[in-house]
Amino acid sequence: MIGFLILVFLFLFLVWFLLSKFIFYPLFFKPKYFIDDAKAFLEEKDCSFLAITTVSKSTALAYFSNLKKGFSIDDLIKIRSHFKLIGLAADESSLEVFYVQITKYLGLPFSKNQMKFNRKKSSEISAEEKEQYLQKRVYFTNQCPACKASISNKDEICANCGLFLNAK
């Protein structure tokens, strides 16, 4: 009878451990990367903040050598988050993309998160990313750019030279 109670207790403990490890802990305590930290990091690199997105483990595999495909023993004691940090370079004509890995140890609730950064090479940045984040800037003035005649914000065509003024 005591052996049966021990087995039931071990089974319940195992179920509780698996639920807390793979459902509750990632849901509530997964490491986060805050925008203020991202902006501070990008300022050190002479960049301005554009965006931050979460990245799947399969995407992060290409940028972090300590990750292994599938399940490993490390997954029992660590929880990781992966982010993609996008910044505009100081010259405002190129993107800087960084991949961030934040690791938190499960047994140490008050431990600091460990962060690793990897820069994506500028040759690896896709045209879609560049098009999405490097947008053309439009400046509004009260003069026509072609003939310098005065215009208002509501004008669609310059009355003097016929230039179409709406930029899309």
3-state secondary structure 26-75: HHHHCCCCCHHHHHHHHHHCCEEEEEEEECCHHHHCCCCCCCCCCCCCHH
Whether residues 128 and 144 share a domain: the answer is: no
Q: Which segments of 45-118 does DSSP mark as H helices, in order?
A: 57-60, 74-77
User: 96-152 pLDDT, tens per residue?
Assistant: 889 998 888 876 667 778 888 888 887 788 888 887 777 655 556 788 888 888 888
Distance (Å, whole) CA 62 – CA 99: 10
Name residue 139's beta-bridge partners: none
Contact 72, 87 (CB under 8 A): no
Helix, strand or coil for residue 18? helix
Q: For position 10, what pLDDT does the model report?
A: 93
Q: For position 92, what pLDDT does the model report?
A: 73
Over residues 41-67, mean pLDDT:
84
Whether residues 53 and 100 share a domain: the answer is: yes
DSSP-derived letter for residue 92 is S
Whether residues 35 and 116 share a domain: the answer is: yes
Number of domains in the chain: 3
Name which of 68-77, 78-87, 124-133 the model is least confident about. 68-77
12, pLDDT greater than 90: yes
Over residues 8-30, mean pLDDT:
81
Mean pLDDT value across the chain:
81
Whether residues 127 and 70 share a domain: the answer is: yes
Whether residues 60 and 50 share a domain: the answer is: yes
Whether residues 38 and 88 share a domain: the answer is: yes
Range of the domain at 54: 31-133
Whether residues 109 and 81 share a domain: the answer is: yes
Distance (Å, whole) CA 20 – CA 78: 13
Whether residues 119 and 160 share a domain: the answer is: no
Name residue 84's beta-bridge partners: 53, 99
Which one, of 136, 137, 140, 135, lies nearest residue 151 by Cα?
140
Q: For position 168, what pLDDT does the model report?
A: 44
Name which of 3-7, 41-45, 74-78, 144-148 the model is least confident about. 74-78
Whether residues 105 and 35 share a domain: the answer is: yes
Over residues 30-54, mean pLDDT:
86
Distance (Å, whole) CA 97 – CA 53: 11
Whether residues 25 and 72 share a domain: the answer is: no
